[in-house]
């Protein structure tokens, strides 16, 4: 029988019900202030726990992992993305890494769909006019946006979130097109009415709206660079709810300033929490503060999933959401 509780260092403040459960099950070291920890603080946390529970904003590099020494055995990430963790160093050190997939899918897809609606219909621009008291009455030619029904939506990355967006978009009458590293099954294509494009460049040039939903990997860094972005039609709209550096943000701002793209909806940025200030000044850009999974229900579900991973590991079982890295 285990005589002492597993020590878990939690890097950020989490929903109270999640923290209460962590404290009941483990020797949980909470971040009472909630602010992001410095690199040195993360190293100290790793060196003093059995389980490190970081979030997507914590860069868990080789130095932090090595600071864990022989004690650190599990990195239980609060979030689905794991690009901020040095998986290779963790694997070589025999440290298990887990994440919290699936529970973010619906809320992230909802945010993407909200942006797909908001940008062409000029919703935030219109709301600002109302708040500023500048609405002077209805006019036949005032604040005209663009319909989305019948338009072509190109989804870059047809994983769980991409498919969830496609289901929502079909209900609004959008045609579904997609580019993915691997073509999805014929059954999924039939369900979604989706057309696969093997050539991303060709797809971009034929879409009215493009939604970026691929994971962050070395291969997807600036996947939409200046050259690719220039292939989007002038009347096109771009939405990104994946990772900021999948898109060359400077090149995107250039195109929007030049009027070479109709608009953009963004929930992520290349250098978060900073965004290119030009994007924030443009009326045809809807900029959100990385809130794709920001609902009470999802954040609690993420915490519960993280706790299940920690408890399974503590009990000597394989955590259900273990991240596998094939070392070469």
Map residue 263 onto helix, strand or coil: strand
- Active site includes 281? no
- Active site includes 227? no
- Active site includes 290? yes
Map residue 30 onto helix, strand or coil: coil
Q: Among 175, 290, 299, 314, which one carries the catalytic annotation?
A: 290
Q: Among 243, 249, 299, 314, which one carries the catalytic annotation?
A: 243
Beta-carbon contacts of residue 155 (< 8 Å; ≥ 6 apart) = 162, 165, 166, 176, 177, 178, 179, 194, 210, 211, 213
Map residue 28 onto helix, strand or coil: strand
Note if the bond before 305 is cis, omega within 30 degrees: no
Contacts 24+ apart (CB under 8 A), 262-265: 262/120, 262/146, 262/234, 262/235, 262/236, 262/237, 263/119, 263/120, 263/237, 263/238, 264/119, 264/237, 264/238, 264/239, 264/240, 265/115, 265/116, 265/118, 265/119, 265/237, 265/238, 265/239, 265/240
Q: Determine whether 89 is exposed, middle or buried from the number of CB atoms within 10 Å of its CB (0-12, 13-18, 19+).
A: middle
Q: Among 272, 278, 304, 322, which one carries the catalytic annotation?
A: 272
Where residue 304 falls (left for φ over 0; alpha for ψ -120 to 50; beta otherwise) is alpha
Catalytic residues: 243, 272, 290
């Amino acid at each position: 029988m285990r005589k002492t509780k597993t020590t878990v260092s939690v890097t950020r403040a989490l929903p109270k019900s999640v923290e209460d459960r962590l404290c009941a099950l483990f020797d949980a070291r909470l971040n009472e202030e909630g602010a992001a920890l410095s690199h040195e603080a993360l190293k100290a946390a790793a060196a003093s726990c059995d389980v490190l529970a970081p979030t997507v904003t914590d860069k868990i590099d080789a130095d932090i992992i090595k600071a864990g020494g022989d004690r650190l055995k599990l990195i239980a990430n609060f979030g689905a993305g794991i690009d901020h963790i040095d998986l290779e160093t963790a694997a070589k050190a025999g440290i298990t890494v887990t994440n919290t997939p699936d529970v973010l899918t619906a809320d992230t897809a909802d945010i993407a769909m909200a942006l797909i609606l908001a940008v062409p219909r000029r919703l935030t621009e219109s709301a600002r006019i109302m708040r500023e008291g500048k609405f002077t009455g209805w006019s036949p030619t005032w604040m005209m946006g663009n319909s989305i029904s019948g338009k072509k939506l190109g989804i870059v990355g047809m994983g769980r979130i991409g498919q969830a967006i496609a289901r929502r978009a079909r209900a609004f009458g959008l045609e579904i097109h997609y580019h993915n590293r691997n073509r999805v099954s014929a059954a999924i294509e039939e369900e979604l009415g989706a057309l696969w494009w093997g050539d991303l460049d060709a797809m971009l040039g034929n879409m009215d709206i493009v939604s970026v939903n691929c994971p962050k990997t070395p291969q997807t860094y600036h996947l939409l660079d200046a050259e690719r972005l220039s292939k989007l039609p002038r009347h096109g709209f771009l939405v990104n709810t994946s990772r900021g550096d999948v898109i060359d943000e400077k090149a995107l701002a250039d195109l929007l300033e030049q009027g070479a793209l109709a608009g953009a909806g963004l929930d992520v940025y290349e250098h978060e929490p900073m965004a290119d200030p030009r994007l924030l000044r443009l009326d045809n850009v809807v900029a959100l503060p990385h809130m794709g999974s920001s609902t009470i229900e999802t954040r609690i579900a993420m915490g519960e999933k993280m706790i299940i991973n920690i408890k399974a590991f503590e009990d000597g079982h394989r955590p259900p959401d273990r991240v596998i890295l094939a070392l070469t």
